[in-house]
Structure 1
C-alpha cells in the first residue's frame, strides 16, 4: 500500500467516558490518498466498477457542553473499484461552519443537546442556531457528490472520485436541504424536502439532471415537525408528518424538547412529482416515527411504501449511560425504539391505508439495488445494530416475494457501516452484485473495506481490503456506478 498524507488534523478532543468519542467512534486525524491497498482475504472482483462513498461524523473541536455524535464535522471517505484495482481517500467537508471554527480555533455553535444561546453566531438548520456540519448523508447527482445534514443544511458538493470541494449548490433554498434527498437513476432527478419553525413548515423540490431547480412548492403542516426521510415512485413523491416533534410550549421558550403524541396518527403526503400544493393527498396511519424508508412503488390503485416502523419513538432513558447522556443514548438505540421492517399501502382510489409488519427483528439502515428504486423490487438489505450502541454488527437480506431471509454476523469486536448495493457489471438479476461496507476492527485497531456477494449472501465477506487508518463511525453511504458516471447517467 502506498499512502500519501494530505493533511494532519488538529487533535483537541478529550474522550473521557463519552461512548461516541472513543473505540469505533474515535475521531480520525488524517486526510490521505492511498493506492495499492493490501488484500487481506479473497480477491478484488474485476466485475465491480464504481465508487463507494461514506459520510462520517468526525469532530475537530470539543463540544461547548454535551456532545452529540450528529454534531461531528462531516468527513467523506471514498473507495474506488475498477479493473480489479482499488484506491482510497478521505477529506473533511469544508463547510462554512468548519472553516469559521478553524479560523477561530474552537467551537462557535451549540450542538443538538446544548442550549442554543451558547452559539456565538447565527446558525443553520431547523434549530436555527446549530452548525451545518453536512455530516449525515451523501448521494451522487449531476456528476457530483452531495452531502447533507441531519436537520437541514445548505448541502455541499465534492467530486465523487477526487473529493475536491465544489461548494454549495446554487439552487439550495433558504430553508436548506433535508438529510435525505433522493436520486432517481432512471432520469437523473434529485428530489428533496426541507422543514423549519415557521409556516408553511415544509417545502418539496425537484432538481433536474442538469443541476437546475425545476420545482419547489410548500407542503403546509399544522406546526413545526421533524421529518427525516422521504420516498418516491415513478409518478409521486411521499412526504410525512409524524407525531414526534418538538413540544410547542417549550419551543416558544427556545427549548427543543421532543415529544411523542400517541393520540395523533402518522400522516403521509402523496404529491405528483411535479405537483402543486393543492394536489397533495394525505393518508393517515398508525402513530410512529420513521427514520428511513427503503423503497416505494405503484401497484394498481395502490402505492406501496416500505420502511422501518418505530414501536417506541420516545423510549425510556438509557440506564447506565454517562450522566447527562441517558436520553441521547436511548434515541440512538434501535432496540429501545423497536425499529422493524414495515409496509404501508395507500389506496389512491379509496383513500384508505393498510399496514403490514414484514419482520419482527430489530433492523434499520436498509439498502436496495438503486436501479429498482421506485419500481416493484424483490430484495432488501438491512443492518443489524449492536444493542445499546449506534454501531452495526451484521446484515439481513430479505426476499420480499417469498418472505425468506438470510442473516450474517460479524466476529466479536468488528463493526460495520451502512452497506449500499453495487451491481455487478452485466448483472443478470436484481441481486447480482455486492454489498460494500467499511469494517472497523477494534481488535486490530484497523479498518477494512469488505465485499459481500449478494448471490452468496450467507457466505459473508468474500473480499477484505486493508485501509490505511482506522475510521470513525458515522451514518450514511452510497454507491455510484463507474459506467453511469462516465456515460453521463449520473451527470
Structure 2
C-alpha cells in the first residue's frame, strides 16, 4: 500500500511498563494517508458507502503523574469506504492543550489520578485541573465531526472527510459539553449537557443544523455530580443524577474522589426537547451508575430507556495490579459489572419500572441507527478481557426473545466500538454490517474488519490491513456519504445569494 507520512509530532514519552502505555494501549504517534487499503480477506461489500471514525487515546509526552488511560491525547482514525474500496487516514486532534504541549515540548497537565496541583497550568472541565484532550467521543453533526471530552470540554471540530482541524466549536458554553451529545438526523438538531462544581451543577442545550446554540437551560441538582451520557426520544431528552459522585468533604480539599452514596436513588430528568426548567419530569429508580445508553423511545404513556446498569459502581480494587489496583478496577467491566438493562418511565403515574435484559457483562453497545428514538430489538455490545479495558468480542442481543449471538476474538486480538451500518434496501433491523478496528498483539498489526450484523458468530466477512498498529481507545461513529451530501447542500443553500 502507498503511504503518505506527515511530519512527526514532538514526543518525550519514555519506555514504560504501564498497563495503559504498552501492548494494545501503546500510543501511535505517526499521522498517515493511505489512498487504498489492501484487502487481506474477503471483499468490501459494494453497498457500504460512508466513513468510520474512531477516537483513541495516545499519550504524547511523559506524564507528570501516574497516568490514566483517559489522559491520552486524541487521535482520530478514519476508514472511508465507497465503491468497494477503502482509504485510511489518521490525525491528532489539535486542541489548545495539544498545541501548548507541542510548543512547550513536555506535559503541562496532570491526569485523572493525580493530586490537585500537579498541572503546570489551570485545567479544564468539571474537574478543573485536567487537560482538554477531546479523546473520549467522536460524533458527526451537520457535516462536522466533533471530538469531545468526558468531563466537559470545549468540543473540537474536524472535517469528517479530510480530518482537517476546524478549531474549537464557537457555540460551546462556558461549562463546556459532556462527551456524548445526541444527534437527531430528522430535525438536524444536536442535544447536549454539561456539569460542573458550581450551581446549578448541570445545563442542557440544543444546537440547530446551522451550528447555532438555540436552547440552553439550567437543570438544578443538589450538588456536583458525574453524569456521563444522555439519551433522546422524539419529544424528550433524558438526563440523570446518579449516586456515584465526588465525596463532598474531600472535594472541599480539592481531592476528586468518586464514591457511591448509600441511600441516594438514581434520578432521571425527562426534559421536553425545547422545554424550560419547570417542565422537567423527575423519575426515581434503584441506585446504580450507567456509562452509556443504547436507545430510548416513546410508547403510549411510557418513555423507555435502555443502557448498561452497573451492579457495583464502586468496585473492589484489583489488588494483583499493585499501584494501579484502583484504576484497573474502575475501567474493568467485570469489576463494576455492567449489564444491558431497561427502564420504563410512566408519564401518567410517575412510576419507574426496571428489567435486566442479559446476565452477560457487556458495554459499549450500538443499534441500527435507522431505529434511533423508536422501538428497537437488536443491540450489538462488546465484551471485555477481565481486569482490562480491552474489547475481546461481541454479543448480538435480541431483546425480544433473549437470544444472544456471540463472537469471541482470538487471544491477543482486541476490537473497537463498532457501529452498525444498515444495508442498502435492508429488509430487517439486523440486516447490515458491523465495522471495527482490530489490534492484533500476536502480529503487532492492526486492521479494519467488517462483520455481518445478522451473523456475527461467523466472524469477519472482510479484513483490510492498516498501515500501522493503532492504540486502543473509546468511542466511534459511522456517517453515510449521503448524509454528508445532504448537510453540504443545506449549508450551501444557507449562503447562496438571493
**What TM-score do you get using the length of structure 1 for normalisation?**
0.98
Tell whether the 8 Å contact from 2:53 to 2:138 is kept in structure 1 after alignment: yes
Counterpart for residue 319 of structure 2 = 319
Cα distance in structure 2, aligned partners of 1:467 and 1:163? 17
2:73 counterpart of 1:73: yes
Deviation at 1:457, TM superposition (A): 2.3
Counterpart for residue 407 of structure 1 = 406
Cα distance in structure 2, aligned partners of 1:398 and 1:346? 22
Counterpart for residue 373 of structure 1 = 372
Q: Deviations over 1:328-361 (max 9, x none)?
A: 1100110010100100000000000000000001
Q: Deviations over 1:430-474 (max 9, x none)?
A: 222110100000111000000011122221111000000000000
2:192 counterpart of 1:202: no
Cα distance in structure 2, aligned partners of 1:27 and 1:10? 13
Counterpart for residue 226 of structure 2 = 226
Counterpart for residue 392 of structure 1 = 391
Deviation at 1:488, TM superposition (A): 2.5
Q: How well do the aligned residues superpose, as a CA RMSD in angstroms?
A: 1.1
Question: Residue 319 of structure 2: SS of its match in structure 1?
Answer: coil
2:428 counterpart of 1:429: yes
Cα distance in structure 2, aligned partners of 1:304 and 1:162? 38
2:22 counterpart of 1:22: yes
2:141 counterpart of 1:154: no
Deviation at 1:110, TM superposition (A): 1.4
Counterpart for residue 286 of structure 1 = 286
Tell whether the 8 Å contact from 1:186 to 1:371 is kept in structure 2 after alignment: no
Tell whether the 8 Å contact from 1:195 to 1:226 is kept in structure 2 after alignment: yes
Counterpart for residue 188 of structure 1 = 188
Cα distance in structure 2, aligned partners of 1:238 and 1:118? 35
Gaps of 5+ in 1: none
2:354 counterpart of 1:355: yes
Q: Deviations over 1:143-178 (max 9, x none)?
A: 010010010100001000100000111110000010
Deviation at 1:15, TM superposition (A): 4.3
Tell whether the 8 Å contact from 1:417 to 1:475 is kept in structure 2 after alignment: yes
Q: Which moved more, 1:403-412 or 1:419-428?
A: 419-428
Tell whether the 8 Å contact from 1:49 to 1:425 is kept in structure 2 after alignment: no
Cα distance in structure 2, aligned partners of 1:302 and 1:36? 48
Tell whether the 8 Å contact from 1:435 to 1:453 is kept in structure 2 after alignment: yes
Deviation at 1:482, TM superposition (A): 1.0
Counterpart for residue 61 of structure 1 = 61
Cα distance in structure 1, aligned partners of 2:36 and 2:311? 46
Cα distance in structure 1, aligned partners of 2:219 and 2:186? 25
2:477 counterpart of 1:478: yes
Q: Deviations over 1:394-445 (max 9, x none)?
A: 0001112222110111111100000011122232322221101000001110
Deviation at 1:371, TM superposition (A): 1.8
Question: Residue 329 of structure 1: SS of its match in structure 2?
Answer: helix
Cα distance in structure 1, aligned partners of 2:12 and 2:486? 44
Counterpart for residue 235 of structure 1 = 235
2:453 counterpart of 1:454: yes
Cα distance in structure 2, aligned partners of 1:103 and 1:61? 12
Counterpart for residue 117 of structure 1 = 117
Counterpart for residue 92 of structure 1 = 92
Question: Residue 478 of structure 2: SS of its match in structure 1?
Answer: strand
Cα distance in structure 1, aligned partners of 2:54 and 2:285? 33
Counterpart for residue 495 of structure 2 = none
Cα distance in structure 2, aligned partners of 1:114 and 1:132? 15
Tell whether the 8 Å contact from 1:451 to 1:462 is kept in structure 2 after alignment: yes
Counterpart for residue 496 of structure 2 = none
Gaps of 5+ in 2: 492-498
Tell whether the 8 Å contact from 2:12 to 2:105 is kept in structure 1 after alignment: no
Cα distance in structure 2, aligned partners of 1:191 and 1:60? 32
Counterpart for residue 494 of structure 2 = none
**Residues 1:441 and 1:62: Cα distance change in structure 2 (over 3 Å):** same
Counterpart for residue 167 of structure 2 = 167
Tell whether the 8 Å contact from 1:17 to 1:322 is kept in structure 2 after alignment: no
2:2 counterpart of 1:2: yes
Q: Which moved more, 1:368-377 or 1:130-139?
A: 368-377
Show structure 1 runs of 4+ deviating over 4 A: none
Tell whether the 8 Å contact from 1:31 to 1:92 is kept in structure 2 after alignment: yes
Question: Residue 335 of structure 2: SS of its match in structure 1?
Answer: helix
Deviation at 1:38, TM superposition (A): 1.0
Tell whether the 8 Å contact from 1:237 to 1:272 is kept in structure 2 after alignment: yes
Question: Residue 61 of structure 2: SS of its match in structure 1?
Answer: coil
Deviation at 1:270, TM superposition (A): 0.4
